[in-house]
Structure 1
């Protein structure tokens, strides 16, 4: 692609409170050895969470679905705002520069969605185009980025933002079952915002025209004012070259967020076979992504993969022939934050960028996995 949409900056946010796996077991007085093993062998050390309030006897309250939705809204807005502000600071832009806002979440349902609420709370221009991607799960960050890149490509020089907001604490059910315990051992709260812009088109013949007051040029001050560590001065981040999707209909029920009649609230479900299903289809998905590009697996220098869980990561590694070094940020994010659902891969990208190891002409693959079951991929180049 000539002049593909490019990543211009990133910002992340997590809750003020976090817990180790052992602290979580202690908080809820979990003694079942099977459940303790799930927590302590998860390759997760700490996660940002907002736990239910404490009761007078020291136990944790049982939250209603209404209380969980309130937590989703309040925590989501706080994290989303922080991530957006960090992202705009990263690129040297302001809220007045934002022309498109795409919000992604799976951990609650709101109408109006986070996009409208954040535009109101932050004071973003009321004419800002927006999109809410809701309920798609851990893969949704790349589904949304496809839309964001398409908008940016159609509006050269204008700033688009995607923000993944996942208050996983608002989707927990504490019923002591293995189904819930697997979920409770894995997910953490977090938000990640990504700025995308298509370079302004080359100037054509001089034609007098009114200046586009709202347009943000790729050559304007904000785009070159702040560059990520390790990237050349005045350069944007990687270009978004191509996206691909692979859905596995036979595993449509393997990952669900649906209503639990017994608990009177929504709850997550993860099939134990999920890691192997995803792993077995990852090579097919990569083949689809690289089809027609002239590239092969060996041409990919950098891998940014969703931190879905230890077994998922290991299965993808084995099927794609990746080294531990290839997934170092994926495992690092899992260790430090748990699975942050749709925003996990952006936390990994932030770490890759901070290393400053990417070079012009190198290719990378972004990969997310989630309900459907679905594997999403994006091909990028520096």
Structure 2
């Protein structure tokens, strides 16, 4: 029997910062460029993004007086990582609690954690294992700095573990605090990149028990000459995200290549795929996938709904999409697909349990 993704729990913080960010971004731009930013933000497909950053006194945003980003220069990387060390485990545990409400979490044998928005040692995996009271013998794997496709790597690793040990019960956690990395900018491209990102966490249980979604054939590939299109740079003032405007076009062109498309679909016509769990990296990226594979206009509805409600939560985003698919009716064949630094594309086939 194949490994199964039995259930997924998700969590986001309680502070919606999307509107406040847009006001801040408009103030950073020259007056001539602000209207263009406003138009592109309105077309982003994003209505909400959530942040672990507390509201400033009086209920303001993190850039208001008393907020985390109120003073110039903005907090250094050390202060941001101190906050990550406190907030990331808490948000991860909220997602695990949501998972526990759906599936029993006893006898966890392996813990796989993915995160690219912070570093702490002992790691998030050790902190979570201790807080959950997992046995000291639990086998841990921390997947760091892979970016938006790290959920694929985490679930693929869980699949390999269960295939080698059918009795394994693997807890997979993705947690990202992207809003810890706001940077001053007065150019359109970096502000539009920051517009995409929010905070979120997800937790999944992967076992050999036939419930949920069967995790099938994995795949991975890298687009040539694309290493600089998506990049995180570690600076003294947080992690600076670089997301080139060329990314959607390169994705669409890659998927238009028959060999690349066959790798993604397992040589099946895209129209025969019943469900698509595509990382909601942005409206233009989802449009590029739909265009490149000639998908039906509703094929990516689950991804677009996640983008609208949460924005791009890096590695956690795909898990939110899969959670929506799990909550829906049974399906035949599905494909999970995510993109990230490299420019890499990774994914796997899936189907409903019998």
- TM-score if structure 1 supplies the norm length? 0.82
1:11 counterpart residue number: 9
Measured against aligned partners, the alpha-carbon deviations of 1:240-278 in whole angstroms (never above 9, x if no partner) come to: 110000112410111110134xx6442110111011112
Q: In the TM superposition, what whole-angstrom CA distance separates every residue of 1:131-172 from its partner, at most 9, and x where no partner exists?
A: 011011101110121111100111213310111111101222
Aligned to 1:108: 118
The structure that has the greater radius of gyration is 1
Q: Does 1:275 align with 2:265?
A: no
Partner of 1:30: 27
CA contact (8 A) 2:161 2:168 kept: no
CA spacing shift, 1:9–1:56, aligned 2, 3 Å: closer
- Residue of structure 2 in register with 1:348 after alignment: 321
| Residues 16-69 of structure 1: per-residue CA shift (max 9 Å, x gap) | 111343x32335662631433343331111110234474359972322211111
Partner of 2:58: none
Unaligned 5+ runs, structure 1: 200-234
Q: Which of 333, 336, 348 matches 2:309?
A: 336
In structure 2, the residue corresponding to 1:102 is in which secondary structure? strand
**Relative to 1, partners in 2 of residues 1:176 and 1:305: Cα closer, same or farther, differing over 3 Å?**
same
Write out aligned runs for 1:1-382 (5 A): 3-21=1-19, 23-26=20-23, 30=27, 32=29, 33=34, 34-51=36-53, 52=62, 54-55=64-65, 60-61=70-71, 62-91=74-103, 93-94=104-105, 96-199=106-209, 236-260=211-235, 264-283=237-256, 284-291=259-266, 295-355=268-328, 357-359=329-331, 362-382=332-352
Runs of 4+ in structure 1 off by over 4 angstroms are 56-59
Q: For structure 1, which segment, 30-39 or 121-130, has the greater mean C-alpha deviation from structure 2 after superposition?
A: 30-39
Provide the rounded CA distance (Å) in 2 between the counterparts of 1:281 and 1:20. 31
Extract unaligned runs of 5+ from structure 2.
54-61
* Cα root mean square deviation, aligned: 2.2
Distance 2:337 2:6 in 1: 19
Q: Note if contact 1:244-1:285 (Cα within 8 Å) is conserved in structure 2.
A: no
From the superposition, tell whether residues 290 and 29 of structure 1 become closer, same or farther in structure 2 (CA, over 3 Å).
closer
* Partner SS state of residue 43, structure 1: coil
Deviates more, 1:302-311 or 1:60-69: 60-69
* Residue-by-residue CA offset, 1:308-336 (whole Å, 9 max, x unaligned): 10111101100111122110011111111
Contact 1:367 1:378 in 2 (8 A): yes
Deviations 1:197-233 (A, max 9, x none): 114xxxxxxxxxxxxxxxxxxxxxxxxxxxxxxxxxx
Q: 1:158 to 1:264 in 2, by over 3 A?
A: closer
> How many corresponding residue pairs?
335
